[in-house]
A and B are shown apart, each in its own frame.
Chain A
Amino acid sequence: MEILKPAMAGTLESSDAQVMVEPGEDGIELSLESSVMNQYGRQIKATVLETLERLGVENARVAVVDKGALDCTIKARVECAVFRSCGQSAENIPWGGAVK
């Protein structure tokens, strides 16, 4: 998927993560802030990158502010932000396909 416009998903509440995506030109530029950076920073980055790859996002600037979210929440927030940026978040989501 191609990131068409800036979009955001998630909150800064405990156990959640806020994900912001913007159009980019040179691959994935990921910035991560996390309340559990020392323990889980690498794991969170890997989850974000895997999710973007599954969605076929090749170029984007991505900013994640994590408040101790589980992997499943990180995935949900990244996916929602990407679908929102393409204006496709409201219906016909490929559950179990690109979203899994």
Chain B
Amino acid sequence: MIPRPRPERFRLRRTMMFMNAQKPGLIKDAYIYGCDSIMLDLEDAVAENQKDAARFSLYHALKTIDYGDTEVIVRINGLDTPHWQEDIRVCVAGGADGIRIAKCESAQDVLTVEKAVEKAEEEFGVEKGRTLLMAALESPKGILNAYEICSASERMLGVAISGGDFRKCMQTKPTPDGIDMVTARGMMLIAARAAGVQCFDTVFTNLDDQEGFEAEVLQNKAMGFDGKSLINPKQIRFVHQVFAPTEKEIIQAEKIVRAYREQSAAGVGVFTVDGKMIDIAFIPGAERTLKLARACGLWEGDLV
């Protein structure tokens, strides 16, 4: 029995890799790839007549395998299926860190899941509020309701867009410059930031098109995403490289945090670092850079 620590609502989630919960060969050693989170999938990856088997497999994986620092999230079946309630029971009983709500379209969907999670926490003697939630937005309605979804619950860690279903609804295809999804991505990002939760981009499914994948990851970073969903371990390294802060950014962040501590102790609110004006508004960003740098193995300080 592996006791997992209490999940953190805000942590580093650059890479979230999907894994079919029904396949023991995949889930037994998913932690070795070094992604920040794995998403064990009970939904689309599992055939309709294997939903029951996937839950048994998931339960024992959660209870037996030491995933270490890798966050374990489970994607459950949609609320329009007969499966989601049992999915939630097994996630909570097994001690998953979080649940990804598929095809989420409203705050009510989040509340429906939250209620079932609470009931399961009670049933299995799990600390109330332990199980985190995230929502996958897969339809135009989901995107339009992004803000109410993001702010529906204290358990919400973030939202992700799901490209396949969304493009289907919009009658578009993936384009090299991402123009097909730029509005939806932007709306979701704004909603997530307004609600103070994280935001993740969709998977890139053509494993042979490394150039296209890299272009999309660079755009994700430029748009302000926290991370990306992945389908293959070979995609992890590039995302971690792109999301890592540069050496210059790290040095700058360290200077800012240090200077801020000294200046505020001396009663000064606004000051300059290397000729740039700095006040309290810059501190959260600088601290985030340092935390990210440490997670990427680029910085070993103890300022944050």
Contact = CB atoms under 8 A, between A and B. Distances in A.
Nearest to B126: A96
Interface string B230-245: 0000000000000000
Interface stretch (A22-30, A36-44, A64-72): A64-72
A80 B93 contact: no
B25 A72 contact: no
A79 B60 CA distance: 11
- The binding surface of chain B is classed by DSSP as helix
**Interface bin, chain B:** 20 to 34
B118 interface: no
Interface residues of A, number: 27
Given A15-B24, A72-B64, A95 B57 contact: no
A91 B51 CA distance: 10
Nearest to B83: A90
Contacts, number: 72
B86 interface: yes
A93 B87 CA distance: 11
Contacts of B57: 73, 76-77, 80
B153 interface: no
Interface in A30-84: 69-73, 75-77, 79-80, 83-84
A95 B90 contact: yes
Contacts of B52: 80, 83-84, 89-90
Interface of A: 9-10, 13-16, 69-73, 75-77, 79-80, 83-84, 89-93, 95-96, 99-100
